[in-house]
Structure 1
């Protein structure tokens, strides 16, 4: 559906070159809700603007539906862009026009019949929950309502791709959730592929099935949301995940632990069905070890449960090793907190 191949983007201003994107490659499949996350300046907004050629790459290819946008002439590119809708952080509505007319803009530009325009606009306003706002002006709407108008406008030409550039960052948390649920509904009911740029990991957690993490113009990690949340490899990714999943004890608790001979601290991570199994209980029964639970938390990602338990484990070294092997063999990820050595072995 969307494929970026070895993309570089360089801006030159006053004789100074700034490399915004450095060798970006990613693929968005049809039906995905694909999130791209990164801190300010990571290059994510530049990246999404390449997909509809609001920006052109300095090097590399942008393929949509298997065709390189760089090979299109002006007329062909204009036709291709009709298939790509876009919503923006600050709505980009025309304040002098009513809601109905804002939504109708793409259809007017396509020179559609007035009756067809009216039918389509009213259908979309109903879909986004604004049937009663057709004759209102943007100044009379809340931020969430303005974004719903922007979404309706982006859907007017029946696109197969919807690009969202920080579409919820100007909204409060409750409104953000309602907009995200609307995007999820669009993806499911209209079978529209959605690509979301954000700096909020909660947005990725809420609706995305795949994610790419950006830093300084590069993709440092990508994969399914479940994989990235469950096993974040890069420090930046780990920091993002921590904003939505608490998976570590506080420094004060850790410092309060009394050092004892044969005592070690471990982080146990359960994924999916293993989270509902009494594995820790069975380990305690089977092995002569003492367990002190310091922390426990569960969360759900893509309808899959992720659970974290941090324990202090006491016993003879050989017995502790046997107990840990038992956990790993039963699908539990084990990390020794003190040594920070990770040894995941999910089955």
Structure 2
């Protein structure tokens, strides 16, 4: 559906060269809600502007529906762009035009008849819950209502792809939730592929099925949201995940542990079925070792439960190893996060 192959983008301003994107390889499948997350300056907005060719790559390719956008002539490119809707952070509405006319802009540009425009705009305003605001001006709307107008406008030409550039960052949490649910509904009911640029991991958690993490113009990690949330590899990804999923001990607990000898510390990851079964209870019953549960948390991602626990194990080393093997057999991922060496008094 959307594919970037070794795409790079360089800007030169006042004699200074800036590498905004460096060797981006990315694939968005039809029907995905694909999130791209990164801190300010990571290159997210430049990336999404490549997808609809508001920016052309300095190197590499951008393919939509299997064809390189760089091979289109101007007329073909204009037609291709009609298949790609875009929602902006600050709505980009014309303040001098009423809601109806703002939504109608793409249809007017497509030279649709007045009856077609009227029918389509009314249908879209009903879909986004603004049928009663057709005659209002943007200045009379709340931020959430303005974004709904922007979404209706982006859908006017029946695109198969919807790009969202920080579409919720200017909204309060409750309004953000309603807009995200609307995007999810668009994806499901219209079968539109959605690509979301954001700096908020909660947005990724709420509706995305895949995610790419960006830093300094590169993609440093990507995969299914479940994989990335469950097993973040890069430090930046771990920091993003921590904003929505608590997965570490409190500093006071950690500090007290470092004063102890003769123990092993492990982080356990439970996914799906293993998160709802009494696996730790069965392990404690089965092995004569001391188990100290220091932290435990569960969250739901893509309707799948993810669990994290940090445990301290003490006792016979062979029994500890057997207990860890027991956990692994029950589909629990085990990560040793710190070891404490036995001293002579504790052996």
Q: State the TM-score, normalized to the length of structure 1.
A: 0.96
Residue of structure 1 in register with 2:83 after alignment: 83
Give deviations 1:157-213, integer Å, cap 9, x for gaps. Answer: 000000000000000111001000000000000000000000000000000000011
Q: How far apart in 1 are the matches of 2:84 and 2:311?
A: 50
Residue of structure 2 in register with 1:115 after alignment: 115
Residue of structure 1 in register with 2:95 after alignment: 95
Q: How far apart in 1 are the matches of 2:293 and 2:223?
A: 32
Q: How many residues align?
A: 340
Residue of structure 2 in register with 1:130 after alignment: 130
Output aligned runs, 1:1-347, within 5 Å. Answer: 1-257=1-257, 259-339=259-339
Q: How far apart in 2 are the matches of 1:96 and 1:253?
A: 59
Alpha-carbon deviation of 1:226?
Answer: 0.6
RMSD of the alignment, in Å?
1.2
Residue of structure 2 in register with 1:344 after alignment: none
Alpha-carbon deviation of 1:26?
Answer: 0.6
Q: How far apart in 2 are the matches of 1:104 and 1:312?
A: 62
Give deviations 1:259-294, integer Å, cap 9, x for gaps. Answer: 444322221110111111211111111100121211
Q: How far apart in 1 are the matches of 2:151 and 2:101?
A: 14
SS at 1:338 equivalent: strand
Q: How far apart in 1 are the matches of 2:264 and 2:65?
A: 53
Please tell me whether the aligned partners of residues 262 and 316 of structure 1 are also in contact (alpha carbons under 8 angstroms). Answer: no
Give deviations 1:226-259, integer Å, cap 9, x for gaps. Answer: 1111111111111100110000011111112374
Q: How far apart in 2 are the matches of 1:252 and 1:260?
A: 14
Q: How far apart in 1 are the matches of 2:12 and 2:257?
A: 55
Please tell me whether the aligned partners of residues 222 and 228 of structure 2 are also in contact (alpha carbons under 8 angstroms). Answer: yes
Q: How far apart in 1 are the matches of 2:258 and 2:50?
A: 55
Q: Which runs of 5+ in 2 are unaligned?
A: 341-347
Residue of structure 2 in register with 1:343 after alignment: none
Q: How far apart in 2 are the matches of 1:190 and 1:59?
A: 33
Give deviations 1:72-104, integer Å, cap 9, x for gaps. Answer: 111110000000000000000000100000000
Alpha-carbon deviation of 1:339?
Answer: 4.6
Please tell me whether the aligned partners of residues 8 and 23 of structure 1 are also in contact (alpha carbons under 8 angstroms). Answer: yes
More off after superposition, 130-139 vs 328-337: 328-337
